[in-house]
Structure 1
Amino acid sequence: MINWAKIDRLAKDWVLEAGKRIKDTIDEELLIETKSDANDLVTNVDKETEQFFIHKINELDPTHKILGEEGFGDKVDSMDGVVWILDPIDGTMNFVHQKRNFAISLAVYENGVGKIGIIYDVMADDMYHVRPGEGAYLNDTKLRPLQNVPLSKAVIALNATWIVPNKRIDYTKLSPLVKEVRGIRSYGSAAIELAFVASGRLDGYITMRLSPWDYAAGKLLVEEVGGITSNLKGEPLSLLNKSSLFVGSPKIHEEILEKYLDSYEGI
């Protein structure tokens, strides 16, 4: 029998320790590389932080699988067993350029069922955490169920990249949404934007392409407070493959899905 309370305590301790290590070296010179393109950055701190978690998890139980952004974990092709899903620094561009608005995102699933979700906004020292069925929290404060605000009063997270013409798909269908809602925001970290939806600071979040480590923890937070998570077709999210992402309160999710995303074809 897995002691999830113990694993939850350990995971939080590791996240705080990793966050302290990042803050202690925040002003040191970074070794910056690019991955898929010039804007897809990775630093030595991303890599070192992922390796820190892998060492801790392997010490805890070497049979647990680890899906991490920087590739130091396992090749995970099944959610069978215990799977840790990790983004050591979500929002690396913010980390490099702003030294804020980045987060550690850590989730644990057993046979595809979420057991633990943690998003740690490092520089704000805010930990969003959840054990499904036991409530979602911002630090020690329990988060309230999401409110079904009307679209005209909603603040939605949406990157401007997704409302300009693209060679592969016309995203401009979302342009009218920008005019209908009260406000649009973009924070440059999917984990933080998901945490903001879960805590009511945002009413929804739309993006066209993310990886499981970007949303594995945030998905659990949003669902715990009554939110809906899906891809842009309204289908369940994949925990093994890239996906579009759409989260919000039930009313916001339904209205935007029917009004603006009904003809979405994918990417």
Structure 2
Amino acid sequence: MDIILSEAIRIAKLAGTKIKELREAKQYTESVKDGYELVTTADLVSNDIIKAEIYKVFCNHEILSEEDNGNKNQSLQQPTWIIDPIDGTVGYANDHYQVAVSIAYAVDCKVRYGVVYNPFLDEMYYASENSGAFLNGNKISVKDVSELKSCVIGTGFPHRKDDIQEIISRLGRVLPHIRDLRRLGSPALDICWVACGRMQGFYEGKLSPWDVAAAKLIAIEAGAEVGYYKKEDNYPVLECINGNNIIVSSPKVFDELKHILA
């Protein structure tokens, strides 16, 4: 296994084990950042672990993290790690099990490796470019479905509720055309669930690069179709980390889902 992928897996496991220990021992506190978004001290501990472990091995690489107030360089020209120390913080703080550590590696403006680890279920999703996607060492692929009405679709809702009417309207358009809806609270896991066939599609309006960088690669390598129901012209984010208005689905239902959402 490539050293970058093996290190990403090792580091995700290390950080995941720590946040699981902190929650089981109730050794974390909660606060709110930017006036609306929940953050815990476990997020910050995980962030510190991941960064320290990366720098031990790759001291000259750049890091793009949700929990860093400093460098937010998204050019990805140089070797860059894109990390979400806890994806699904609200779920984490409420004893839910759908919580993940997300780590992606990019260079030359493209994500090359992706790892998403759920420590509460001990599920490690990972992929490297052009090499397939895996869950705990077993190759995974999307579920082969041909009609949206037979599909379970995932979605998520933003921390800010500025466009709540649009979100409700979109949900109202989708629900009559699908079998059921799920909301895990972790977009990285939502996308990985599409990759392994547990859901057949996922959409959401406003996601950050660290929410999707690793999971998008995993889904693509598992055979998913990835695109957008509304493309914003001149949006200054590279395709591989763009989470705005994202759709990830089994290929045969992508166009139908996109049409309904758009």
Per the normalisation by structure 2, the TM-score is 0.88
The change in CA–CA distance for 1:228 and 1:181 in structure 2 (over 3 A counts) is same
Per the normalisation by structure 1, the TM-score is 0.87
Deviation for aligned residue 1:11: 1.5
| CA deviations over 1:41-73 (Å, ceiling 9, x no partner) | 111110111111111112222221100000166
Gaps spanning 5+ residues in structure 2: where? none
After TM superposition, the structure 1 = structure 2 runs for residues 1-267 of structure 1, keeping only pairs within 5 Å, are: 5-26=2-23, 27-38=25-36, 40-71=37-68, 74-159=71-156, 166=163, 169=166, 171-233=168-230, 238=239, 243-261=244-262
| CA deviations over 1:215-235 (Å, ceiling 9, x no partner) | 001100111122122232257
Question: SS at 1:243's partner residue?
Answer: coil
- How many residues are treated as equivalent by the alignment? 256
The change in CA–CA distance for 1:71 and 1:240 in structure 2 (over 3 A counts) is farther
Question: SS at 1:25's partner residue?
Answer: helix
Contact 1:135 1:142 in 2 (8 A): yes
The change in CA–CA distance for 1:31 and 1:249 in structure 2 (over 3 A counts) is same
Aligned CA-pair RMSD: 2.5
Question: SS at 2:169's partner residue?
Answer: helix
| CA deviations over 1:180-210 (Å, ceiling 9, x no partner) | 1000111111111011000000011111111
Question: SS at 1:210's partner residue?
Answer: coil
Deviation for aligned residue 1:245: 1.7
> Percent identity, aligned pairs only?
29
The change in CA–CA distance for 1:191 and 1:73 in structure 2 (over 3 A counts) is farther
Q: Taking CA–CA contacts closer than 8 Å with sequence separation of 6 or more, which of the two structures ends up with the larger relative contact order?
A: 2
Q: For residues 162 and 22 of structure 2, what CA distance do their matches in structure 1 show?
A: 40
The change in CA–CA distance for 1:12 and 1:42 in structure 2 (over 3 A counts) is same
Q: For residues 137 and 55 of structure 1, what CA distance do their matches in structure 2 show?
A: 26
Deviation for aligned residue 1:99: 4.4
Q: What letter matches 2:5 in structure 1?
A: D
Q: What letter matches 1:87 in structure 2?
A: D
Gaps spanning 5+ residues in structure 1: where? 262-267
